[in-house]
Structures are given as structure tokens and as C-alpha cells.
Structure 1
């Protein structure tokens, strides 16, 4: 019996050792797993070992020009070899959404904000003075108080404007040359600072011409068609600047221009492709690409925001939609032959 009890004690002792060894192994495994998970949250890296950045991207609404600028921006980031995750949000042309989006980017601690339009850039700048901001598709960055001047970036903001200094003056000269003594109808959202600035520039450029400016203002896209319709019988030419609200409802403007044989001058090539007759414009993809290059320099640490002054688009040129000229009853001029571009079908 005594031997049996001794044998039982030995077996029990061995079982206890085995159990302790198993618990120890499990504890080490759990500890290693916790360490691994901890290292993942302490500084994100991509699958290729490079640092991953988060960019908050926002625009006032979605339409072709802004969309192309965003595509160009992303392409430049990719070409720079950076690993970037995008958090894209459209404000759907609602100023309340602009603030909400900007605040959410700050709360999430994004590494950089890409602000695609004047309202988006203003919202981002009001939300943060710490996170770098690069803007594009802004008509007048100085007037909007985004930057001190076109030679100097803000403390945490820089970017590219979409309005070439000569675009409006060249457009007004074009109208005065080929449609002299015309009343030029303009429809715009007076709540958009970039639009007010452009209309003021049009008025100034028209002072020494034969043209007269006729204005209509809207608050949203639903009002665009009615406002354009009120120009029928009063305006000889319609000139739509790069106003986000009106451009997003451009089909209704084109419809009136075509039905009433009114030449439709627009502010950028994408509106031309939608049915505008003529524009002195830029390429928004190229504009966005240049903004992406600026962002890449900032994210990589090669340059500080303050070291990158804002920029104008490099050049503008005349674009003509010949199909729209026919639709709007415009007599063709051979001067325009070299400026014809293919419109959307």
C-alpha cells in the first residue's frame, strides 16, 4: 500500500509539471501575439515596408472638372512612390457638410488634407492650423484669404488656382470681337466667393468694350434653369464661369442656349464638352497632378508647406466646340479652325 501511495504521488507530481509547462507555453504565445499586435498599431507600415500616409480628400461636389483634378492628384502621389490611403468625402454642395468633413479629418488625425474647391479649402483651413493642406480648383486664393499672396504659402496651406490671370480678360475680348454690342448674361451663386470674384473681373474687363453684363444669381442647382430662362430675350450671349452650383446643372443651361440660339461661353473645357461653345481653359487633370506633386513633397518630408508657394496654371488656350456652334446657330468663323476640340457624344 505504501508503494502504491508513493507511485501515485510521483504520477501526480509529473502531471502538475506537465500542466505548468503547457500554461507557460500558452502565456508566452499570448505575450508574443500581443507584442505583434502592439507593433502594428504603433506606426503603420505598408506591405512593402514603407510608411503609409492617410490623406483626407474633399471637394464641394462631384462634377467632371473637380473629379479630374482628384484623379491627377492621386496619379502624382502614385508616381512619387508613396503609400497613401484616401478618405474621400464630397460635401454635396452643402456648406454644413464642408465643416463636418473638415472636422472629421482633424479628429481622425489625417496626415494631409486635399481640398478640391474654394469652399473645401476654406473649411479645411478653419478646422486646422496644424495639418498640412493642399488646395486646387480655387479661383482666387488671395481674395479667399487662403494665402497671403501668390508668392507666399500660408503656415499650413498651399496649392494651385484654376483661374489663369488672363482667362477672363481673354474671354471678354473674344466675346467683344466676335459678338460685339452684346448683352452678356451671367448666372452664378453669390454665396461662392470664387464666383463673386470672377464676376467682378468680368465687369472690370468689359468696361472698355461694347459689352453689357446682365446678372442672375442662384442659391442652388434647382434655381439654375429658371434663372437662365429669364435671360431669354435679354441676353445675346451667355457666359458661365467656373461656378460649382451652375456647372453642376449645366445641362439645363445648354438646353436653353440650344433652344434659343444663344452662344454659350463657359469657364473650362469640361463644360465645353458638355455643350458649351467656347472657353479659354486649362486641363484640370494636369492641375491636380501638380497639386499631388506638392503633397508628395510635403508627405515625404522633402519640403515644408511654407517652402512651396501657390501657383497659377501654366497656360490657357482657346477651345471651340463646333457641334455646339451649330446647335446654337452661330455662324462659323475660320479663325476658330485651329481651336476645335471633340465634344462628348
Structure 2
């Protein structure tokens, strides 16, 4: 009997040694700063992977946030290279640039990047989803909701490429209606309060681009605007929920889901440069009811059919 047990034990060890444990796919997610839109990209990305069968048993996700610091984003990028990630989702222009600076081999999927070409994100290992804002529609919204407005204010981070692109588009679109653009550039989050104090005295409406510093400081921006009774045209849904007057925007969760579909294509063998960078065409119109009342604005008939009213 002892011999039989010994033989079975040895066979069990041999079988165990013969089994090869399947290694998990290593995915890095690098994000420049925490705010609702960028967080939604992560939610959509993970949801897509799970829907397609890439759950935690198959994928190991290493999520890191740079807390608004480009140097930290660069450190995160280097750590992903050292860890030999199979794929990286880089959320925001700075995080994408930091990642591309250190590797031309690891596949990079960029997300929440307005203009990948202007940002220099062109390479064999790069693809992704642009979050180009519908600036034309947003300026039209100002014309409809605020027909007496003449001066549009914009505060933005001068070191963020997508902000420069959006401000340039804002100027071109505003020129169609004869608006005057009043701009204030900042370089860090500590300068926002002072910039707001200056610009809000000069404008009829404040436009916030998809600038990561400005979006992260939304409570401060809205507080300053309310003090000065200046309406705010936001860029993402969360800003409207917090009290900005209105926006026409894309779904960042859908953007993340789209990035997830790209990731699966790459994991199945497709090369990143064989997958074109995509944009989201569908937009939604969001309006804050409380802000309308406080500013004495009636919802125009032309917007009633498709506006989503947020209380």
C-alpha cells in the first residue's frame, strides 16, 4: 500500500512539473491627472476587455497616475519599459508623449489626445482614439444660449499641446460670429485662481477646453465664475453636473471602450500602425437647469428636442 501511495505521489509531482502556468498579459495604464473624463476612459477600456473575455485571470493591469506632473509621467513610462509591458494605454497628451519618448517597440494606445499628429505621436507602435472636441458646435451653442455675448474668455495650460490646438480652433470658429477671444495662459494649477480673477472681469462667457489642469480645477473655475456671474461653457459631462451652464461633448467612456477594442486587435497580432487613429463622431448636448435659472436663461426651442437637462 505504501509503495502504491509513493508511486501516485511521484506521478503527481511529475504531472505538476509538466503543467505550464499561462502567463498573464501585462498592460500598463498611465494617466496624467485624476478627473472624471480621464477616469471614464479607464472604465470604458476595462469594460471592453472584460466583455471580450480578457478579465483579471488573463490580464494584469498596472494603473498609475502622474498627479499632473510630467516628470512623474516620464518615470511611469520608464517603469513600464523596464517591466516589459505587452501594451500600454496612455491617457492624455502628456502621458502619451512621455510613453512614446521612451519606447518605439511597446504598443501604445493613446486616448484623450486631441491631435496626435500635432503632439508628435506618429510611429509604428502608436494608435488610439482622439478626443477632438466639437468646438464648432460649442461656439454655436454660445450663439444660441447667449445671443448678446461678445467676448469669450479661455484659460489654458500653455505647455499642453492639445490645449494650444483647441484654442486655435476656438479662435477660428469664433471669428465666424465676430466674437473677441480673451485668453490667459497658465503653466500650473496654482496660477488658475489669479488668471480667473483677471479674465472674468473682461468677458461675457468663459469657455473651458479639454485642458487637464483646467478640468481638474473645475470646482475653483465654477466658483470664480459664479462670483462674477459669468456663464461657463464646459467641455465634459462632469463639468455640467458640477454647475457649468452647458456643453456639446463626446462620451469618454465610449472612447475608452473603443481603445479597448484596439488593444484586443493588437493582442491578437495586429500591428498598431495598421489600425488608424479614430475619433468619436457622435456628441451629446448637456445643459444644467439650475445654472440656467440662476443666469435667467430660457431654453431656446431649437435646443429642446435634443438637450439632456441635468439638475
Cα distance in 2 for residues equivalent to 1:224 and 1:339: 33
Tell whether 2:201 aligns with 1:233: yes
Cα distance in 1 for residues equivalent to 2:201 and 2:64: 41
Tell whether 2:92 aligns with 1:117: yes
SS at match of 1:179: coil
Asked whether the 8 Å contact 1:275–1:343 carries over to 2, the reply is: no
SS at match of 2:85: coil
1:308 corresponds, among 270, 275, 281, to 275
SS at match of 1:131: coil
In the alignment, which residue of structure 1 is the partner of 2:126? 157
Deviation at 1:342, TM superposition (A): 4.8
Asked whether the 8 Å contact 2:141–2:247 carries over to 1, the reply is: no
Cα distance in 1 for residues equivalent to 2:19 and 2:157: 51
2:157 corresponds, among 171, 186, 189, to 189
Tell whether 2:102 aligns with 1:127: yes
Pairing 1:1-345 to 2, within 5 Å after superposition: 36=17, 45=22, 52-82=24-54, 83-147=58-122, 154-164=123-133, 167-177=134-144, 178-301=146-269, 303-343=270-310
Deviation at 1:179, TM superposition (A): 2.9
Length-normalised TM-score, structure 1: 0.81
Cα distance in 2 for residues equivalent to 1:39 and 1:221: 53
Distance 1:179 1:228, change over 3 A: farther
SS at match of 2:168: helix
Question: Structure 2, unaligned stretches of length 5 or more?
Answer: 1-5
Cα distance in 1 for residues equivalent to 2:225 and 2:293: 11
Asked whether the 8 Å contact 1:220–1:245 carries over to 2, the reply is: yes
Cα distance in 2 for residues equivalent to 1:248 and 1:327: 24
| Structure 1 vs Structure 2 CA RMSD | 2.3
Asked whether the 8 Å contact 1:76–1:289 carries over to 2, the reply is: yes
Deviations 1:193-216 (A, max 9, x none): 110110011111122322100011
In the alignment, which residue of structure 2 is the partner of 1:18? none
Asked whether the 8 Å contact 1:62–1:92 carries over to 2, the reply is: yes
Asked whether the 8 Å contact 1:263–1:330 carries over to 2, the reply is: no
Distance 1:259 1:337, change over 3 A: farther
Q: How many residues align?
A: 300
